[in-house]
Amino acid sequence: MSFDLLLKNAVLPDGRPADIGCAGGRILAVEPRLEAEAGQVIDAGGRLVAPPFVDVHFHMDATLSLGLPRLNQSGTLLEGIALWGELKPILTQEAVIERALRYCDLAVSQGLLAIRSHVDVCDDRLLAVEALLEVKAKVRDYIDLQLVAFPQDGYFRSPGAAANLLRALDLGVDVVGGIPHFERTMADGAASLRALCEIAAARGLQVDIHCDESDDPLSRHIEALAYETQRLGLHGRVAGSHLTSMHSMDNYYAAKLIPLIAEAGVHAIANPLINITLQGRADTYPKRRGQTRVPELRAAGVNVAFGHDCVMDPWYSLGSGDMLDVAHMGLHVGQMTSREAMRWCFEAVTTNPARIMGLEGYGLAPGCNADFVVLQAADPIEAIRLKAARLFVVRRGRVIAESAPRLARLALPGRPAQVDAAAYAPATA
């Protein structure tokens, strides 16, 4: 057998040693030891190989716009939405495309090769929709970009949003979005979910709703979303994003709700970096964290992913396209500190969101796309701990990004000449 690319001495996320042989853009063999001819051989040196990172919740139309036209002074979600409203009329298609492509460069360097981005459809010009459709076509060889038609200012509350959403879907946007907690009333929110899920059912599309992104313990849109999913038979095709009100809900009600979400096959997407900074803003002390009930949803069998949501935009000044940064925050906020739960947090930025996006050929088994990342870490926990360097990023059997290992030189008498943080492995895995 001969390969285009042979990865030697790697370790899979489950701990098995593996050589991976690729040809024609696909993985042909995954074995503890492969001896074969290959056009290119990479020695992983006993380090972790993982499928690419996946960000299932992002806003690429707003990314890298930090400071335009001003900064978010309060740091709240609502000022962020207002600020985005100020920016929208002065957006140009060229600027949105340029920023999105720059973000995609950053994403690739971080091994992030699949992104689901919401795109605001409340601007009648649909300028951002057209811009991101162009970006999607431009990056298709290296990033799977899925777009969600997102009525940021409300499906009912914003005049024209309902018609614009359909126009965006007609133009090729993939997924139906919504924001029920931003409608004028709870009843309008529920009605928006009914309408949006019916559109998805009629068109055979997926649904991804900004759902209950508030600290209101009585916000109940996730209940309505699970109900509509059941009613229309959309099992497995619907995601609830944020779900932060669940953090504040009465425990008795949450114990009734979570099995309903599981029964409907609704996916849950937490956005740890954003939820921990935007929620609890009206609290004094104690301040609520606002991240949805990740361990409990997971225990009930709900597929849960972590999304990045924002990078340097009206809602969040930080971020770097690093899904390990996202997993690190999600782990801390969710207090998911057992070895098993920490390994799961790695899945929450790889395999779990890949399932939500319905990515075909994703994974490290023979027959899958030859897409993977070699990290400067021995295992997924160490990858999260160190936000490990992406030594090699491979797409369809071709290296598309490389980073040097992070090593620090020491100048201390009697001590080693360099420090490799990835060499501090625990005694037990």
Give catalytic residues, as residue numbers: 213
| SS3 of residue 35 by DSSP | coil
Residues 8-67 that bind Fe ion (CB under 5 A): none
Label each residue of 141-198 as H, E or C.
CCCEEEEEEECCCCCCCCCCHHHHHHHHHHHCCCEEEECHHHCCCHHHHHHHHHHHHH
Nearer to Fe ion, 289 or 390 (CB): 289
Nearer to Fe ion, 23 or 77 (CB): 77
Tokens of 371: 């897409």
> Nearest distance from residue 333's CB to Fe ion, in Å?
17
Which residue's CB atom is positioned nearest to Fe ion?
A: 309
Q: Which residue in 269, 272, 271, 274 sits closest to 317, CA to CA? A: 274
Tokens of 210: 């900004």
d(CA 351, CA 27): 17
d(CA 273, CA 23): 38
Amino acid sitting at position 237: R
Strand order in the sheet with 390-395: 26-31, 17-23, 2-11, 37-50, 372-375, 390-395, 398-402
d(CA 321, CA 58): 10
The CA-based angle 387-388-394, given to 5 degrees, is 120
d(CA 114, CA 112): 6
d(CA 385, CA 55): 19
Nearer to Fe ion, 209 or 377 (CB): 209
Site size toward Fe ion (CB under 5 A) is: 1
Q: Which stretch binds Fe ion (CB under 5 A): 23-31, 141-149, 303-311, 366-374?
A: 303-311
The structure tokens 């008498």 sit at 413
Residues 307-336 that bind Fe ion (CB under 5 A): 309
Nearer to Fe ion, 11 or 112 (CB): 112
Q: Which stretch binds Fe ion (CB under 5 A): 22-30, 93-101, 284-292, 301-309?
A: 301-309
> Nearest distance from residue 362's CB to Fe ion, in Å?
23
Amino acid sitting at position 25: G
As a dihedral over the C-alpha atoms of residue 356, residue 215, residue 117, residue 143, rounded to 10 degrees, the angle is -60
> Nearest distance from residue 313's CB to Fe ion, in Å?
10
> Nearest distance from residue 238's CB to Fe ion, in Å?
16
> Nearest distance from residue 210's CB to Fe ion, in Å?
5
Q: Which stretch binds Fe ion (CB under 5 A): 139-147, 305-313, 376-384, 403-411?
A: 305-313
Residues 139-198 that bind Fe ion (CB under 5 A): none
Nearer to Fe ion, 6 or 243 (CB): 243
Nearer to Fe ion, 208 or 379 (CB): 208
> Nearest distance from residue 36's CB to Fe ion, in Å?
45
> Nearest distance from residue 179's CB to Fe ion, in Å?
9
How many CB atoms are located within 10 Å of the residue 194 CB?
Answer: 16
DSSP strand pairing (112-120 vs 53-58): parallel
Helix (H) or strand (E) holding 211: strand 206-211
Nearer to Fe ion, 57 or 136 (CB): 57
Give the binding site for Fe ion (CB under 5 A): 309
